[in-house]
Amino acid sequence: MLENCAKCIILVRCLFCLKNKPQKSVNYRQKCKNDDELLASVRRKCLVFVTSRSPPTASLSSLMELENCVSNLSLAHEIVVNRDFCFKPQSPLTDSLEGRVTEIVHRAFWDSLQEQLNSDPPNYSHAVVLLQEVKTMLQSLLLPRHNRLRSQLDEVLDMELIKQEVDHRALDLHSLAEYIINIMASLCAPVRDPEVRALRDIQHPVELLREIFRVLGMMKTDMINFTIQSLRPHLLQQAVHYERAKFQEIMEKHPASLDNTTAWLQAAASEEASAVRAQSDSPSPDSQGPVSATAVLNRAYMRLLHWDPQDQKYPETVLMDRARLDALAQQLQMLILEASVLLLTTAQCGGNASSLQGFVGKLRQSITTLLEGSHTREAELKGALLGLGETILQQVNEAVSSQGGATLPKESQDLLKGQLMDLWKHSNPVRTLIGERVQGFLQAMLQGGTAKRSPELLGPLRLVSTELTKVGTAFERLVHFNRTVFGPFYAPILRKLLFPPGEAEAGEDSR
């Protein structure tokens, strides 16, 4: 965790230096936020990327250098793309091996400190080391404008003077702790005020030092998150240049770093060429003009929403966004299922029930509750759809009865349950139809950008339009940023795929 934090500060400062403009001071206590986001998945993807792209003969130093480069790239990308990105203090689970070992080691250290302070005369060797670490942590929390506070900290926590006081048995540990708490109170974010105040009530020196360390650790994390939040606007201005430069470094060290990307674009180009031929009157490829590079790239991005989780040959240029794209794909599958269920239900029960106030909302709530978490696994989806059929029939009959109508005939009920059960199949006609319309919606967003959002949503898709638009907007933003950063890497690949050797020089840019 501390390694990530240190790396984050260095990276943020390096990117900030690119701006090279003096900035106004920012009030840390007012701006700091306590959000929750983990970087573990990004780190794991970095390691996978490094090991998969490195030749067997690569030296340990080159592997470490490459890992560091990819890790910095991933960290910068996460800060820019994820608006809620922040670090969160982490500790191992108490019932895990790591947690038990950590607890034993920490307890042994604090017990040793207790024995030293209880000895006659007291032994302050461990305490002096802790005070030095506390001083270092406090210094890391100071802003450049805190010159007076920095000088005061050096004066009060003068380690040479403290060692002399220890030698002469004149060390006042309580007074030093009181000063440290006062400094913490002036530097901490408002969210930490109660914990800092609680330190003043602790009289036991060992317990006090232990809690000071704990709160300082959280304050350091707060400071890093504050730095990220305050400098994010400047990072956004430099992000494209920085990510492109870092990826170029990786390319120079490992030229094969675009193998998966090339295969990904090649598959999209083949699909796009087939689609163009299918829409043409002539089946001959020679009778068609060149396939658009933009269309190929859009189709390639759309393919990412249907990527096989077992396929590890994910395009390198999109690897840092795989978790986000997979999450969007799952949301889309849920919306497709929800719209399919709504279409089948409204078709069976007619307009009387579906037009009732609150009926569709209650129906959607039931669909989401029963299908959430099971829509990605076929075995669980079957059982969920069976239970959903019973629930929907009950709600439909209640709605019809409330209007004085008759409940659905048994044949209609059995038909509806059977139709809903059949939705677990990816080849289901209704599910396929809704999926195609969703694909068209996303495709239009990629093609039109902000000027032309999408064609009009019809039928059951209108009922999920808010969620669908939200997912589409998130997808469009990811695609736009990726295209901007990696366009120069895509262009030569697309020229080779789409244009004859003599025409490659004049091929269109993928951006």
In a domain, 287, yes or no: yes
Indicate yes or no: pTM above 0.75.
no
In a domain, 308, yes or no: yes
pLDDT of residue 304: 96
What total number of domains does the chain contain?
1
pLDDT of residue 65: 61
Report whether pLDDT(180) > 90.
yes
In a domain, 85, yes or no: no
Give 86-127 pLDDT, tens digit per residue.
777 777 777 788 778 888 888 898 999 899 988 888 898 889
pLDDT of residue 263: 94
For residues 381 and 151, which has the higher predicted lDDT (pLDDT)?
151
Q: Which amino acid is at 451?
A: A
Structural Rg of the chain based on CA atoms: 30
> Which range of residues forms the domain containing residue 267?
259-317+487-506
Which residue pairs, CB below 8 angstroms and at least 24 apart, start in 354-363?
Answer: 356/399, 356/402, 356/403, 359/395, 359/399, 360/463, 362/395, 363/392, 363/395
Q: Which of 472, 482, 81, 76 minimizes the C-alpha distance to 316?
A: 482
In a domain, 286, yes or no: yes
CA dihedral 114, 118, 124, 128 (to 10 degrees): 30
Number of CB atoms found within 10 A of residue 325's CB: 20
Q: Which of 131, 203, 133, 195 minimizes the C-alpha distance to 166?
A: 131
Which distant-in-sequence residues (6+ apart) come within 8 Å of 19 by Cβ? 234, 237, 238
Give 34-43 pLDDT, tens digit per residue.
333 434 454 4
What is the percent of the chain with per-residue pLDDT over 70, rounded to a whole number?
Answer: 77
Q: Which of 33-37, 181-185, 230-234 shows the lowest per-residue confidence on average (mean pLDDT)?
A: 33-37
In a domain, 412, yes or no: no
pLDDT of residue 162: 92
Q: How far apart are CA 130 and CA 294, in angstroms?
A: 59
Structure tokens at 12: 């943020």
Eight-class DSSP state of 316: G
**Across 357-371, average pLDDT:** 81
Structure tokens at 2: 């501390």
In a domain, 495, yes or no: yes
**Across 379-405, average pLDDT:** 81
CB 341 within 8 A of CB 392: yes
In a domain, 94, yes or no: no
pLDDT of residue 29: 38
Q: How far apart are CA 190 and CA 196, in angstroms?
A: 10
In a domain, 446, yes or no: no
Side-chain half-sphere of 344: how many Cα atoms within 13 Å? 29
CB 389 within 8 A of CB 420: yes
